[in-house]
Amino acid sequence: MEINQRIREFIKTNGLKFTYVAKESNIDMKKFSRMMTGKQKIDTDEYETICSSLRVNPGYFFDQKLLENKNYENAKEVI
C-alpha cells in the first residue's frame, strides 16, 4: 500500500474530511486531492505538514519493513 493510500485510509477511518486536512496542512484542495489519488507525488515538506495536521509521527505511514531497514534514501522515492 502506498503512502497516499495509507493517509487516505487514516483520514477515512478517523472520520475526517479531505477539505479539513488540506486546509490544516495549508495545501490547495485540488493539489491535495491529486496527492491522495496518486496523481501527484507528496514532497517531504508536504508529507511532514500533513502528518502534523493529522497529529501523527511522520513514520506512522511507512511500511514497517522499510523502517527496519532504515533505508532512508528509498523513503524519499516512496513519498
Query: Residue 22 is part of which domain span?
Result: 3-78
In the chain, the DSSP E strands lie at none
**Which tens digits make up the pLDDT trace of 19-74?**
999 999 999 999 999 999 999 999 999 999 999 999 999 999 986 554 444 444 44
Q: What is the pLDDT of residue 1?
A: 79
Q: What is the pLDDT of residue 69?
A: 47
Question: For the chain, what is the domain count?
Answer: 1
CATH at residue 45: 1.10.260.40
Quote the DSSP letter at residue 69: H
Task: State the Cα–Cα distance between residues 65 and 60, nearest whole angstrom.
Answer: 13
Q: Residue 49's Cα: distance from chain center in Å?
A: 9
C-alpha cell at position 37: 489519488
- Per-position b or e across 31-60, b if 16+ CB within 10 A of its CB: ebeebbeeeeebeeebbebbbebbeeeeee
